[in-house]
A and B are shown apart, each in its own frame.
Chain A
Amino acid sequence: MRESLFHSHRKAIASAIYTNRLFHIFVGIITVSTFILIIGLLYTILGKGLPKLSLDFLFTLPNELEAGGGVGPFLFNSFYVLILSLILSLPIGIGAGIFLAEYAPNNRFTEFVRTSVESLASVPSIVFGLFGYVLFVEYVGIGLTIIGAAVTLALLNLPVLARVTEEAIQAVPQDIREASLALGATKSQTILKVVLPAALNGILTGISLVACRAFGESAIIILAGGTSTSGFMWDFNLLSQGGTLPVHLWYVQSEALVPDATEIAQKSAAILVLIVLIISFTVRFPLWIQALITKIKATPRKS
């Protein structure tokens, strides 16, 4: 009796160890293969597009019928709309984040604001697009414009900015706030001069996230900004059509008549991925360097 119990236990333990090992291998294989797949696909995009890229392509006008056109105005519009939307959404989004982290009392109003932030973050971008369309094309009556696209895009940015700012501010330790208040600073001075600088890393990462998302957004732009541009470079007019590079990629791939449409699409996709990578890196790079420096400074003290 006793031996069989010991036996069965040993069996159970052996099988537990065996399944555990299987599980490790299984999870490892899934992770590695998924990563290889995704990186392989991104590499394909960059590999197909980048070698054919030339400066000309980035700055010349598109051509509707003949091969050899560029994406100049679309690329320009992409940045123009992105920057406008950030200018519009940064103060409001960060303000809302500060309110939620620093001022919000624990009551129903705060609950309401939090629910709106989360709901707004989950609103499908096409719904934002339709909203922009109703607002700017039907009620204001200015048609498909850069400013319409930028304002609608700003709405998409707002909830993410608010949430990221709130999280970054909440991570700031309480004692530096108290130190600032004890020196006689008002709450607003404390927030602006002590808390925000301390939370800057988190906020910057959030901004890069928002910028990437806004840069690649296409559904909103199609509905509020249109699929084409004014047709010449460096057009800062807020009321000209606001087609951006992602929209152009879609247009070229689905409707264009140009013979070299595939090549244009490949190159545009490569540019998009490259710019998103650059945006992410430029924001994170200083943070990495900073982390590295503090690490190097910290090591000799330890040893």
Chain B
Amino acid sequence: MALPAEHVRIQHEQTKTKQWRIKYMKNNAFRYACLASALSLGVALFSIVVFISQTGFLVFKDVSWKEFFFSATWEPFEEKYGAAVFIAGTLYLTFLTLIMCTPIALAIAIFVAEMAPNWLKNVMRPMLDLLVGIPSIVYGFLGLTILIPFIRETTGTLVGDGFLAAALVLTMMVLPTVTRISDDAICAVPQHLREAGYALGSTKLQVITRIVLPAARPGILTAIILGMTRAIGETMAVVMVIGNTAQFGWDLLTPTSVLTSNIVMQITNVQFDSTWNYALYMMAFLLLFISLVLIIIIRQLRPKGE
């Protein structure tokens, strides 16, 4: 014969353990939910690589890899799929963009991080962040309506489309990104290194070039490589100003084409199970491959354990 009080106590304890159990189940469930979301990012990357490569590698059934990588004749209607123009174009365009972008971005980063007074920093940093968010199509539109007529006037060419226009537009797009990351890298250099430099009688320029920049080098390299991945993958801004013609454009002012612009111009017009389509997917796989390699390089740049 259990006392009513005893009964209540047991019941109370039971509900309490139940609450505890639920509490810890919730705790675990949350942990696994987070784990699952993290894992799903890996799955997403994996499936993108699989889908794109699977479709892309079908091209080598009909086209030899030698022709695909080294031939410069891209005539899909005559079954000629040489992507050399686009591959070289992408690499060349990225190179041009970096040549123009890096010095300017570094100068602005140094100005913001080392020279600007605080109020100016607080204005310039949000402004750079804002510029990162401007849609790429707007930059393309600017290039098309302002830059190309300007190039036509100053150089006297008839078209104006080409690597010069594309590289200038890309420089403007990539600049805020590279600047902000370099700025962060420069700010992360410990203050006492600078003070040691000044104490030895260095000028600001000497401190910056001989102490701060070498110390911030991994961060700055990361910024440049991230800028590179953006320049390589940028599509719409490039499409609008590059001219979209499958020919080499080394002299900067000839209409030409790169991997991204060629894919987006042609993909909507082709049958899914055609060699043409497979060739376009193979080009996308190349883009994917280049950007993955760049990321691995960034990871190697970073000190271990971070």
Contacts and interface: CB of A to CB of B under 8 A. Distances in A.
Contact of A127 (B24, B206, B284): B284
A27 B111 CA distance: 6
A249 B233 CA distance: 20
Contacts of A254: 240
B51 A215 contact: no
Contacts of B130: 276-277, 280
Interface string B178-211: 0000000000000000000000000111101000
Given A26-B107, A162-B41, A123 B236 contact: no
B136 interface: yes
Contact of B129 (A24, A44, A127, A209): A209
A272 B239 CA distance: 19
Interface string A40-68: 01101100000000000000000000000
Interface stretch (B58-66, B81-89, B151-159, B290-298): B290-298
A87 to B, nearest CB: 14
Given A103-B31, A103-B35, A219-B264, A123 B40 contact: no
A246 interface: yes
Contact of B44 (A17, A122, A155, A188): A155
B203 A96 contact: no
Interface centre among A27, A94, A223, A249 (most CB of B within 10 A): A27
Given A45-B142, A272-B135, A124 B299 contact: no
A17 B135 CA distance: 43
A130 B267 contact: yes
A262 B132 CA distance: 25
Interface stretch (A69-77, A132-140, A232-240): A132-140
Contact of B110 (A20, A27, A131, A159): A27
A119 B287 contact: no
B55 interface: yes
Given A31-B111, A113-B39, A272 B137 contact: yes
Given A126-B260, A276-B135, A118 B298 contact: yes
Nearest to A155: B44
B133 A209 contact: yes
Contact of A95 (B37, B208, B234): B37
A31 B108 contact: yes
Nearest to A254: B240
Contacts of B34: 95-96, 98-99, 102-103
Interface in A214-234: 215-219, 222-223, 227
Contacts of A159: 41
B18 interface: no
B1 interface: no
Interface residues of A, number: 93
Contact of A123 (B30, B45, B110, B234): B45
Which of A23, A106, A117, A127 has the largest count of B CB atoms less than 10 A from its CB?
A: A127
A117 B204 CA distance: 38
A47 B172 CA distance: 20
A103 B229 CA distance: 30
B60 to A, nearest CB: 18
A19 B142 contact: no
A64 B36 CA distance: 46
B138 interface: yes
17 contacts: A19-B205, A20-B204, A27-B107, A34-B175, A45-B138, A45-B141, A99-B38, A117-B41, A122-B226, A123-B288, A124-B284, A128-B48, A158-B44, A186-B23, A187-B31, A217-B136, A219-B260
Interface of A: 16-17, 19-20, 23-24, 26-28, 30-31, 34-35, 38, 41-42, 44-45, 91-96, 98-100, 102-104, 106, 112-113, 115-120, 122-131, 133-135, 137-138, 155, 158-159, 162, 186-189, 191-192, 208-209, 212-213, 215-219, 222-223, 227, 246-247, 249-250, 253-254, 262, 265-266, 269, 272-273, 276-277, 279-280, 284
Given A131-B51, A273-B135, 12 more contacts: A20-B204, A27-B115, A44-B142, A119-B45, A124-B234, A124-B287, A126-B260, A127-B288, A186-B24, A187-B27, A209-B132, A222-B264
Interface of B: 23-24, 26-27, 29-31, 33-42, 44-48, 51-52, 55, 104, 107-108, 110-112, 115, 124, 126-127, 129-138, 140-142, 144-146, 172, 175, 203-206, 208, 226, 229, 232-236, 239-240, 260, 263-264, 267-268, 272, 280-281, 284, 287-288, 291-292, 294-296, 298-299, 305
Query: What 9 A-B pairs come out closest when comparing CB atoms?
Result: A216-B135, A124-B233, A95-B37, A212-B133, A188-B30, A20-B203, A99-B34, A186-B27, A219-B235
